[in-house]
A and B are shown apart, each in its own frame.
Chain A
């Protein structure tokens, strides 16, 4: 397998004293699928950030020339300036897809960030302190993990109205627990290492040890897991949007656009499904490939 040759290469050049991160980067860029995934993510991100400059219409303007005859006149066209066609109200689907991609990426990234911050600190603390504190903290996670979160999230959104803050809170709630378990496990194994023992012996306080010595050494695991978490968060958001509980119009997300396009699929407006779905799929592919690539690169022995 590829990894074997890489290891040989790495061993051969070990005299040059390269950091493990440089090795990882090398391995990552050797992996064709991972590079392809990265390329996809770059394209999608560029689209989300700068696609707005290419759009001829804003994401909320109604094109009265098209409205009411969307199936006949609202298709993708360079001439009309609607590169991706329009939605049922004659709004430019290109601009809306750009805007929807921004929201979907934001939800995914924010969900992952919450997982990183909360999950890492919680897991590292539990693992480092150990003993009874660890027991209680992990039992609490056990209890929380048994709660059907999607149901609670639906309750929250139905009863307190939809807002992007609530959505972030929701995905954040769901995302941190797995992370905390993984981090705890890794922390337990790091705890006995010499440098941690040394730090403790010289009287460094527990929070400092966790932040300075434990967390940086978990970076690989955290990055891999967070990357794989992003697509799951995006999928969660799309489900919420399907239930009509996603972001408030005129804002939209890829999930909301897809749900809208899928519902009207038999009315001759396939582009309303096709373009948002394309970007949705590209984004998810990108994260899956990059996540897999990172895992192989950062932890070659694991796979």
Chain B
């Protein structure tokens, strides 16, 4: 969550899973009288406007107040939301969505295709200045770049309502994972009359009209968000949890204490506490893979240090970091050591065999690293000085401290630089760093979401590692029938060139009340809906 401010969408199989909506309570379950669910927010919710929100935590709230075309189930498969299904034109460029006719806004009026048109236009409208306007371009919606740039009126955007229950979207390139992108909160519909009546205040409790399973009752900034079951929701009958509460607690240790005191149903477990909690509360401590990778990005560009332009130094650094210690002794929450870039749980992806990962133990790696450093002309007489920059967080700090000690063993003196997130990002984007902590969360469940980032044209390649061969491989993968061998080839190039030092692959490490059921247990993006939950009697 803190590792990035990005939302994530998931691409799974194309077909919609036929499984049921809302809470599927198995027969014979006794439900508790108290059907409430209280979850943790690290920070205040910045906006409840689907087209303005940029945060993961904000999306958790928005998915309950609004509903998009499709939702995800516990396995990350698409299930119908407002759209029942869709058809794709031959070229794969036109999507026609068939909307349900019983969807309603919380004021009782029907949700129509026009509400989606309005929402999407709002996202792209330069007058609205949404930070997420680029998402329309990422989705390849026709004319999105021109609309965002203000060169075309918003009604030229490639979305139109054929009738109240038929929505048509035109895109410019075939995108196999396009439907999965519709789970994203920024594509949710909003009600034009409400937005126009209240202006910027339309998302405040009392004004907000949504089409989700819950309505906003109270929003005390930085304190709590309260939502109640929405009776006009089309599947209200099967919604079990009557009240959702989100509590903002700025300190994760404090949040855990309050969970243990029974004030919350779900919190993140701070680094290092999972083993103890798993032993003490085996039915509550959970760890599941999460679609993000943690790396140290090396600056090999013009403004970077000379030493890092030497591939031997980069390899030596990657070898010297003992990932097992970071994962098993610092984080201790079921994360996995990373020897490559793409998260291990990405569907269909398999890491290529890498000698330094598979055939060497840490002692051998250190040996190899020392040899590489000597070869590159560094050693005890000629130590290398580098700066390691990370954004403020206890965990990033601990890992950076450990890494600096590990690199010291091969004669690299690290100076640590702790910056607030804004400065950290600013320095990254200005190539003002030697090595910097970086994490990427996949936008969808396919390897290209990671691998595209290292291309010379990605706009995220802050270390300025530009490699023609790599660009070519990634370009080829777009056309390939089976891109997986190309993805492996790309990972091979990364391992040989080592422009980044992979550290670990994320996991979601949570305490969840034993009586809460229905949270996704196999969804790498951890997309959850309050309407799927229920509390059993104990």
Contact = CB atoms under 8 A, between A and B. Distances in A.
Interface in A222-280: 244, 248-250, 263-264, 266-268
Contacts of A244: 392
Contacts of B417: 161, 248
Interface in B409-431: 416-420, 423
A68 B328 contact: yes
B419 A161 contact: yes
Interface of A: 60-62, 64, 67-68, 70-71, 88-91, 158-159, 161-162, 244, 248-250, 263-264, 266-268
B398 interface: yes
Contacts of A71: 276
Contacts of B128: none
Given A159-B423, A263-B253, A60 B401 contact: yes
Nearest to B399: A89
Contacts of B420: 158-159, 161
B456 to A, nearest CB: 30
Nearest to B277: A267
A170 B330 CA distance: 34
A16 to B, nearest CB: 60
A264 B394 CA distance: 12
B329 A67 contact: yes
A71 B418 CA distance: 27
A277 B332 CA distance: 28
A68 B257 contact: no
A249 B405 contact: no
B367 interface: no
A46 to B, nearest CB: 28
B397 interface: yes
Contacts of A162: 418
A120 B272 CA distance: 50
B311 interface: no
A60 B273 CA distance: 22
B251 interface: yes
B423 A161 contact: yes
B407 to A, nearest CB: 12
19 contacts: A67-B329, A68-B272, A70-B272, A71-B276, A89-B401, A89-B402, A90-B329, A91-B401, A159-B420, A159-B423, A161-B418, A248-B418, A249-B400, A249-B418, A250-B404, A264-B253, A267-B272, A267-B276, A268-B276
Given A248-B418, A249-B416, A89 B330 contact: yes
Interface of B: 251, 253, 257, 272-273, 276, 325, 328-330, 332, 392, 397-398, 400-402, 404-405, 416-420, 423
A197 to B, nearest CB: 57
A67 B271 CA distance: 13
Contacts of A266: 253, 257
B402 A62 contact: yes
8 smallest CB-CB distances across A and B, nearest first, come from A68-B329, A67-B329, A263-B253, A62-B405, A249-B416, A158-B420, A161-B419, A244-B392
Contacts of B325: 64, 67-68
A88 B398 contact: yes
B323 to A, nearest CB: 14
B32 to A, nearest CB: 28
Contacts of A70: 272
A243 B466 CA distance: 39
A261 to B, nearest CB: 11
A128 B276 CA distance: 67
B146 to A, nearest CB: 37
Contacts of B330: 67-68, 89
Contacts of A268: 276
Contacts of A61: 405
Main secondary structure of the interface of B (DSSP, over half): helix
A29 B276 CA distance: 53
A267 B420 CA distance: 27
Contact of A68 (B253, B332, B405, B423): B332
A91 B402 CA distance: 10
Contacts of A264: 253
Contacts of A60: 401, 405
A195 to B, nearest CB: 54
Contacts of A161: 417-420, 423
Contacts of B328: 68
A70 B271 CA distance: 13
Contacts of B392: 244
A267 B273 contact: yes
Q: Max chain B CB contacts within 10 Å: which of A62, A162, A268?
A: A62
A263 B251 contact: yes
B332 A249 contact: no
Contacts of B276: 71, 267-268
A249 B404 CA distance: 11
A70 to B, nearest CB: 8
B516 to A, nearest CB: 23
Contacts of B423: 159, 161
A61 B404 CA distance: 10
A67 B322 CA distance: 13
Nearest to A68: B329
Nearest to B420: A158
Nearest to A244: B392
A249 B273 contact: no
B253 A249 contact: no
A61 B330 CA distance: 15
Contacts of A91: 401
Given A67-B330, A68-B332, A263-B251, A248 B416 contact: yes
A77 to B, nearest CB: 19
Contacts of A158: 420
Nearest to A263: B253
Contacts of A90: 329
A4 B403 CA distance: 64
Contacts of A88: 272, 398
Contacts of A249: 397, 400-401, 416, 418
A64 to B, nearest CB: 7
Contacts of B272: 68, 70, 88, 267
Nearest to A243: B392
B254 to A, nearest CB: 8
Nearest to A249: B416
A211 to B, nearest CB: 41
Contacts of B418: 161-162, 248-249
B325 to A, nearest CB: 7
B507 to A, nearest CB: 16
Nearest to B418: A248
A161 B417 CA distance: 9
Given A62-B405, A68-B329, A244-B392, 15 more contacts: A60-B405, A62-B402, A64-B329, A68-B325, A68-B328, A89-B401, A90-B329, A159-B420, A161-B417, A161-B420, A249-B400, A249-B401, A249-B416, A264-B253, A267-B272
Nearest to A266: B257
A250 B416 contact: yes
A57 to B, nearest CB: 12
A145 B330 CA distance: 45
B356 to A, nearest CB: 21
Contacts of B402: 62, 89
Q: Max chain B CB contacts within 10 Å: which of A68, A70, A162, A248?
A: A68
A10 to B, nearest CB: 55
B10 to A, nearest CB: 33
Q: Max chain A CB contacts within 10 Å: which of B257, B329, B404, B417?
A: B329
A293 to B, nearest CB: 39
Nearest to A161: B419
A36 to B, nearest CB: 36
